Amino acid sequence: MGVSGSGKSTIAQKLAQRLGWTYEDGDRFHPASNVAKMSAGHPLTDEDRWPWLRAIADEIDRVCKAGEHAVIACSALKRAYRDILVHGRNDVRIIYLDGTEPLIAKRLAQRKGHFMPPGLLASQFKTLEPPDASEDAVTVSIDASVDAIVDDIVGQLELSPTNSQPSGRNRS
């Protein structure tokens, strides 16, 4: 999770590669109506987001049930969004990509092939609810190289080497 430009796609892909897990982009789960709305330049409402988030939660359930592992990039800026994704599961972990607005603005300005509406980053920071202690999220500073960030995440996840299962939270 994190604001636009915090590095979700970049880090999720590298993390999945490192762990031998599947990478998925949360945007893939938008219903056609949301895609049409966004293409027309209209912002999504929370009402638009619920079915999208439920579709990602369904994918998480499918992956878990199949005994697979995945890293999913999803902005998940609000607690209510993350609650839908995690919905009480103890085998889902939130990774929060934490960075300052000036650093992320700089990266977005350099990003190629992406149009960035003016004011979007500021509005993302206004919406952002960083995870609190009860969410047991992994928080990483994005002011580092991609490899160093992935190292940081892997270290904090405390994965067991034998089964790659997260073993940090409410573990039975």
Ligand X SMILES: Nc1ncnc2c1ncn2[C@@H]1O[C@H](COP(=O)(O)OP(=O)(O)OP(=O)(O)O)[C@@H](O)[C@H]1O
9 touches ligand X by CB under 6 A: yes
Contact window for ligand X (CB under 6 A) among 6-14, 31-39, 50-58, 83-91:
6-14
Residues 27-86 that bind Mg ion (CB under 5 A): none
Nearer to ligand X, 65 or 114 (CB): 114
3-state helix, strand, coil in the chain (%, to 5): 50, 10, 40
Q: Which residue is it, tokens 């609190």?
A: 132
Q: Is 34 in the site for ligand X (CB under 6 A)?
A: no
- State the distance between the two ends of the chain, measured CA to CA, in whole angstroms: 26
Alpha-carbon distance of 92 to 89, in angstroms, equals 6
Q: Which of residues 45-104 bind ligand X (CB under 6 A)?
A: 73, 75
DSSP letters for 116-136? --TTHHHHHHHH-----GGG-
Q: Which of 1, 2, 9, 54 binds Mg ion (CB under 5 A)?
A: 9
Q: Which is nearer to ligand X, 128 or 146 (CB)?
A: 146
CB of 149 to ligand X, least distance (A): 5
